[in-house]
């Protein structure tokens, strides 16, 4: 929201936000938010699977938990790799 608000306020506020988001703390925050986004997405899909009555056995529950963590890591790494490769050009 800060970024969108700054974009609507003009070039100077937008440049300040861009500068912050490009700093190490800004990148760390963006990375953390992307991890949270992908974890929430993957775990939401897991819950939808449970809602239809699938994967409720204890071994499936544990396996699904590990799958959520692995897919969260994979999606985060891929999105950052693609994003950084586009940013470098």
Mean pLDDT of the chain: 95
In a domain, 78, yes or no: yes
- Quick: pLDDT tens for 59-86: 999 999 999 999 999 999 999 999 999 8
In a domain, 73, yes or no: yes
Average pLDDT over residues 2-22: 93
In a domain, 17, yes or no: no
Residues belonging to the chain? 89
Average pLDDT over residues 13-32: 95
The domain tally of the chain equals: 1
Q: Where are the alpha helices (DSSP H) in the chain?
A: 2-9, 11-22, 24-51, 58-88
In a domain, 20, yes or no: no
What's the rounded Cα separation, in Å, for the pair 86 and 89? 5
Other C-beta atoms within 10 Å of 72: how many?
Answer: 20
In a domain, 3, yes or no: no
Question: What pTM does this model have?
Answer: 0.86
In a domain, 53, yes or no: yes
In a domain, 34, yes or no: yes
- Residue range(s) defining the domain that contains residue 75: 27-88
């Amino acid at each position: 929201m800060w970024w969108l608000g700054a974009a609507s306020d003009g070039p100077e506020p937008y440049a300040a936000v861009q500068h912050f988001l490009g700093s190490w703390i800004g990148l760390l925050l963006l990375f953390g938010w992307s991890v949270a986004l992908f974890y929430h997405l993957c775990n939401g899909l897991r819950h939808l699977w449970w809602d239809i009555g699938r994967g409720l056995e204890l071994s499936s529950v544990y396996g699904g938990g590990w799958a959520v963590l692995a897919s969260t890591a994979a999606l985060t790494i891929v999105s950052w790799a693609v994003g950084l490769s586009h940013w470098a050009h």
